Structures are given as C-alpha cells and as structure tokens.
Structure 1
C-alpha cells in the first residue's frame, strides 16, 4: 500500500482505453499493491463495453467447465497489446518483484565479472604463486560496486528501463534496490577472496568496505546532477587515480610493495576509516536531500 492513489480521471481513461501505454503500465504496477485502486479500476472496466464482453466470456467459460471454482471474481482488464492482467496484491509475487527490481544487478555480464575478479585473485595467489595479490585486490575492490551500479540502471543496461521508469516504484527506490543487490553480491565475494590471499603487508581484507560504501553513495549522490554513468566514472576513476598514480610515478621497481604502502595510507587506521565513514554519511545526506531528482534519472 502506498500513499499515492489513482485519480478518477486516470481510472476512467484506463477503463475506456484512452490512457497512454506508459501511464497504463504505471497504474497497473500500482494496482499490485493497492486493493483500493484495484477495486475502483475493476468497477470502471466492468462499466465499459470491454467489461461486458469479458463478463460474457467468463460466464461461457464457467458454463463449459462447472468444476472450476467460482468464489473469486477475477479483476477484468481492458484488451490492450502487451498489457499484463490486473491482480489484487498477494504475498506470493513479492520475491518476483524483488528479483525484477534487482534487474541487471544480479544477471548479465556483471556477476561473472565479479566472480572473475574474486576467483582470479585466489588463482593468482596460489595457482601462479604471484606475490602482492591482496594490494591489487584492495585497489580494485572499492570500484567494483561502483561499476555494478553503473551497469545496473539505465536504458543502456535494462531493456525494460522505460517501462520501469514510468512506474511508482522507479526513481530513488529502484536505484537503491539495485545498489543493494550489487553490494549483496560483491561484498561477500571480494571480502572472502581478500581473506584467502596472503596479506603481503597490505591492510586487512575488510579495509575496503567503508571506502567502497562511501564511493558507492558518492556515485549515487552525484548521479542526481550528472547521471549514473558519468557519476560512477568520476568517483571510480578518481579512486583509481588517487591510488595508482603515486605508485606509477614513483621511481624504482617493486610496484606491489609501493601499492601496499599507498593503500596503508588510504585504507588503514582510524583516521582513514573515519574519513571514509564521514564521506559516506555526507553522501547519504545529499542523496536524501536530492531525492526528487531521481524521479527523472536517466530520462534526459
């Protein structure tokens, strides 16, 4: 149940078939969780010619198959191409709705990429006997969730983006749902990989968690101004430049040793972690303050 309800004009236009397709999809999404509006729409459809035709078809079907249960009256829908049947809310579809909302965050090429990073780090450390794998993993890990957010929201990633963006569940709620799915996959995999590889004088395996969260929230906050892809490019690219540029510019060899030293400065200790925590809180506050901007995200 939401605080928004369909207006009488919206219900009437849906019933007579004059409501545009995106608005109709948005209304049908709302009806999945609002029994009050579902009843109003059902009544409006029954009063149209299509409703009368559907009632006749239903009577004919019930007459031909008397064994079918007749206690529940289905909610009629107007015949529209690609329209989904209306249904009153029920606990069953909740998991399906959650998986739909997660979208590209749990499918496509991103999930195999995270597995490749995690498993590749362990394989390099033990199969190829490469030293200094943990510093490399810690340098890449904070930008993995950022990249996942960029690849999970927008028309470039989701073929149903236009439909999803027109529903009441779109905007910041959908962005946060997909971000949570990205974090739920990447955090355990990358942290476990960090625990399995040798330390090589690098920070602990969980030292990247606060920076990863702060960079992700900063990307979402910046997305309200410049869009998701540009925001993730700025934050992810900024992190990689800040960590790798001093290492590459320093003279001499032993890049992984210098990278471990740089990561100690960026990730290890109370001052560094406290700074990342403060950045995460500030980004979350900006995200909340800019919430209306996400209603039209990736639609410009």
Structure 2
C-alpha cells in the first residue's frame, strides 16, 4: 500500500490485481474492503480491475441477461392473450403431473370409449356394470403415475421445493380426479342401466380408494399401496364372476356392485372411509416431506 500525508494510504496496483483475481489473503482483503468503503478512488480502480478479470466478464453477461429479460417480460405482457396463456398452461401441465401428460389419460379415454362400444356397438347389456367395476381403479392408477421416483424424473427436485411433498401429491391427485370423475360418470350416464347401480355411485368409493392409497403410500410406497387398494376392490366386486356362466357373468357383477354401492348404508360407509383416510393422511403429512424411495 502507498502511504500519503496525514496517514492517508491507497491500494497499490499489485494489491488491486491480487484482490481482483482472488489471490489476496483474507486478512488483507478485509482490510482493503474496509478502506474501499471510504475511498472512492480505490473503489473505482478495484471495480475496473474486477471487470477485466474472467469473473467480471461472467458478471457482465449475467447483468446483460437480466436487463434483457425485462423487455421480454414487457413484450409478453403486451402480447395477445394466447401468448400469455401458453406459459401458464405449461406450468399447469407440470403441476398436473406425469399421469395427465402421459399414458394414463389415453387409458381413461379408452375405458370410456370401450364401455360405449360394448354398450351400443357390441350390444353388451352389462356395459355400465363393467364400467363401474373399473372406474374406481382409474384414479388410483393416476395417483401412482403422478407422484414418486418411479413416475416423475424430477421427483427429487420437486419434493425439495416448498410446494413439494403432500401439497404436490394432492395437487396432482386433484388433477387426476378432475379428469376421471366427470368423464367416467358421464359415460356411465350414457350407458343403459341394465340392473347396475347409478352412474355416480362409484364417486365416493373412487375418492375413498384414492385417499387410502395416498395414506398407505406414506408407509409402503405408491405402487404397493395402489396394488392393495385397487386389487382389494377388484377382488371384492369380481368375486362372484368366475363361478358364473357366460350369460350370467354381467348379471352377477351387477348384483355384487349393487351390494357394494347401492343404498345409504353402503354410501355412508364409503363416505366414512374417505373421511378416515383424509384424517390419517393429514397425520401422515410429515412422511411426504421426506423423499419416498418406492
């Protein structure tokens, strides 16, 4: 450092260069930074030296990128509505999860179209019963394909964000339910009843099975939990079918579905199961804050 009168000193050229390239020892760097707070001349020299270094070039590029983003944001704000909607739509699709963006949605559409084809094109009288047997499983499968390391390549990144964990799982579950519930219920309304329960009778069971899957997933993982809930449902409703003849299979299925879905008692039990699952899921929320490996 060069010293002047009245004990005023300024940073030497060597000191400035060593500070700019990061080779100056920490105690000397602290001393220089304290000096720069009150010396405009040395601060100007240090700034010029830093700008000439590689770090300064990187900072300049970052500054230009930030400043260049402002006109882009202004242009987007002044753009037509479709141009402004597309980024929001992309964010919504990401939040909806891999299921709605992937193969699960075509599978739901295939179930709906297949039921209509069997009911009207194939003349199958029990098409609604078949739909009601499969419908509660579809949201469960959507949940499995929406959340977890097996389904989402960005799972670890998403789970580490403030919006991750159970909040993200519920957001993606809501997207799955928003697609499957109205689509499959409308399909059931369009099909002949043929002794099967009402088209909307599967809604509470579907919700209960979905919440039960999310709750079990906090213990054993999503795929195992879905296998238990979906498999249990299918075993319960399809149990009488293998023993029936070909002509009686759909009638047996409709009768079994009526026992599982029809009446205030059955619907009340499903409502209680959904409420209990929701309460347990709330209690298990901390488990979703940890990375689920299965």
Contact 1:224/1:297 (CA < 8 Å) preserved in 2?
Answer: no
For the structure 1 residues 99 and 249, does the alpha-carbon distance in structure 2 shift closer, same or farther, using more than 3 Å as the test? same
Q: Quote the residue 2:250 is aligned against.
A: 256
Q: Quote the residue 2:127 is aligned against.
A: 133
Q: Quote the residue 1:267 is aligned against.
A: 261
TM-score for the superposition, normalised by structure 2: 0.71
1:123 aligns with 2:117: yes
1:56 aligns with 2:60: yes
Q: Work out the CA distance in 2 between the residues paired with 1:261 and 1:61.
A: 67
1:223 aligns with 2:217: yes
Contact 1:105/1:182 (CA < 8 Å) preserved in 2?
Answer: yes
Q: Work out the CA distance in 1 between the residues paired with 2:276 and 2:98.
A: 28
**Cα distance per residue 1:73-102 (max 9 Å; x no partner):** xxxxxxxxxxxxxxxxxx996554332121
Contact 1:221/1:290 (CA < 8 Å) preserved in 2?
Answer: yes
Structure 1, unpaired ranges of 5+: 1-48, 73-90
Q: Quote the residue 2:280 is aligned against.
A: 286
2:145 is paired with a residue whose SS is helix
Structure 2, unpaired ranges of 5+: 1-52, 75-84
Match for residue 189 of structure 1 among 183, 195, 198:
183
Residue 152 of structure 1 deviates from its aligned partner by 1.3
For the structure 1 residues 214 and 53, does the alpha-carbon distance in structure 2 shift closer, same or farther, using more than 3 Å as the test? same
Q: Work out the CA distance in 2 between the residues paired with 1:227 and 1:104.
A: 17
For the structure 1 residues 176 and 50, does the alpha-carbon distance in structure 2 shift closer, same or farther, using more than 3 Å as the test? farther
**Cα distance per residue 1:251-278 (max 9 Å; x no partner):** 7850100111111100001000000000
For the structure 1 residues 216 and 58, does the alpha-carbon distance in structure 2 shift closer, same or farther, using more than 3 Å as the test? closer
Contact 1:214/1:280 (CA < 8 Å) preserved in 2?
Answer: yes
Q: Work out the CA distance in 1 between the residues paired with 2:65 and 2:217.
A: 52
Q: Quote the residue 2:198 is aligned against.
A: 204
Residue 53 of structure 1 deviates from its aligned partner by 3.8
Q: Quote the residue 1:295 is aligned against.
A: 289
Larger mean Cα displacement after TM superposition, 50-59 or 180-189:
50-59
Contact 1:217/1:280 (CA < 8 Å) preserved in 2?
Answer: yes
Larger mean Cα displacement after TM superposition, 102-111 or 199-208:
102-111
Contact 1:247/1:262 (CA < 8 Å) preserved in 2?
Answer: no
Greater Rg over alpha carbons, structure: 2
TM-score for the superposition, normalised by structure 1: 0.70
For the structure 1 residues 55 and 233, does the alpha-carbon distance in structure 2 shift closer, same or farther, using more than 3 Å as the test? same
Q: Work out the CA distance in 2 between the residues paired with 1:234 and 1:55.
A: 55
Residue 299 of structure 1 deviates from its aligned partner by 2.8
Residue 247 of structure 1 deviates from its aligned partner by 2.9
Contact 1:105/1:181 (CA < 8 Å) preserved in 2?
Answer: no
Number of matched pairs: 232
2:240 is paired with a residue whose SS is helix
Contact 2:218/2:292 (CA < 8 Å) preserved in 1?
Answer: no
